[in-house]
Structure 1
Amino acid sequence: MQLLCLTTLDATLKKKDIKDIYRVHRRNNTKKAHIITEMSSTILKTYFLKQAKAYNNKQKEKLCAKHLGFTKNEYEPPIYVSEQLTAKGARLYFLARDLAKSQDYKLCWTSYGRIYHVRKNKNSPVIVIKNESHVNSLMRKE
């Protein structure tokens, strides 16, 4: 059994932990294609996402291929690790991020396919964004 030790992320993946890996090409070929990795379980996927986010929050230099031991290059572009959302979810996440920027909200993130939004201070309640009209109503509130 082959192991992929991701010591940077404090994670170990076995070959059986990965169901499939494939590229999704974008319409405009100016950007590189996304690499989709399907994990064998939701628990493993959630753990891997959590570890990648924790690394990026703690470190000044964002996660890249050299941190995972794939290359030794001095400069590597960052690796963005995120959930794959449906087209509707991706649109909603885009609108939520736009709302966060325009209304100075502190955080906007996804988890289990849901779009979340946190207000400016730590004591504010977490708002689950459910649809576009909810985003519009939040835009009008402020």
Structure 2
Amino acid sequence: MTCYVTLELKVDYLERNLKAATIEIKNIPTSNPENITTLTGIVQKLGSIINQPVPAPDIKNIFRLRGKKETVGTVVVEFSTTSLKEQFIQSTKNYNKQHTGNRLNTSHLQATGPRKPIFVSEALTAATKRLHYLTREFIKNSEYEQCWTANGKVYIREKEGLPSRLIKSEEDLLKLRREKDK
């Protein structure tokens, strides 16, 4: 392993630890004015909808990233604890499973304009985002059916009920591809 690769792994590890209690929320409509207080209020409202209360002191930091033209930017929320982040994500999943016909969307926030789905996910490092993308592309052409992230790591599973596999690098995907070709 070269020094460059070792350094990249260390940076990714540090960045993953920095984002351990952080989520990203996509498609939150902008408000005018928009500041920490209004964004906190939106997250608290989402929390009440999904039955996961979020007291204001539990939001360590919150801001909106710039979006591409004609799209709203992602809202980044850093919670005070990793367990609160996990509970918020799990509550969102549970809500969407229970309300398949009316999954979490902008109408729940009484937003004007077209109804758009609201997506909640953990914040990933750039390297993990790339690996997650490559893994999703891999499963499209393989016998694997599921791909997800948890705690900043990428996992795949061949079928429901079978054990999951941790994907640490692109090399892991290449090994799986070679196994499939045999």
Give yes or no for the alignment of 1:29 onto 2:69: yes
Matches within 5 A, 1:27-106: 28-60=68-100, 61-67=102-108, 70-71=109-110, 75-106=114-145
Q: Distance in 1 between matches of 2:161 and 2:52?
A: 32
| Residue 110 (structure 1) aligned to one of 133, 144, 149 | 149
Higher relative contact order (CA 8 A, sep 6+): 2
Cα 1:101/1:55, change in 2 over 3 Å: farther
TM-score (norm 2): 0.67
Higher fraction of strand = 1
Q: Percent of counterpart pairs with the same letter?
A: 31
Q: Pairwise CA RMSD of aligned residues?
A: 2.2
| Alignment partner, residue 169 of structure 2 | 131
Paired residue secondary structure (2:75): strand
Report how many residues are paired: 137
Cα 1:102/1:31, change in 2 over 3 Å: farther
Q: Distance in 2 between matches of 1:102 and 1:138?
A: 12
Deviations 1:74-132 (A, max 9, x none): 85201110011000000000011111222142211111101111112x33211000000
Q: Distance in 2 between matches of 1:15 and 1:93?
A: 31
Q: Unaligned 5+ residue runs, structure 1? A: none
Which of structures 1 and 2 has the bigger CA Rg?
Answer: 2
72-81 or 43-52, which moves further after superposition?
72-81
37-46 or 5-14, which moves further after superposition?
5-14
Q: Distance in 2 between matches of 1:24 and 1:72?
A: 19
Cα 1:101/1:35, change in 2 over 3 Å: same
Cα 1:55/1:19, change in 2 over 3 Å: same
TM-score (norm 1): 0.84
Q: Return the letter of the residue paired with 1:42.
A: T
Paired residue secondary structure (2:155): strand
Paired residue secondary structure (2:63): strand
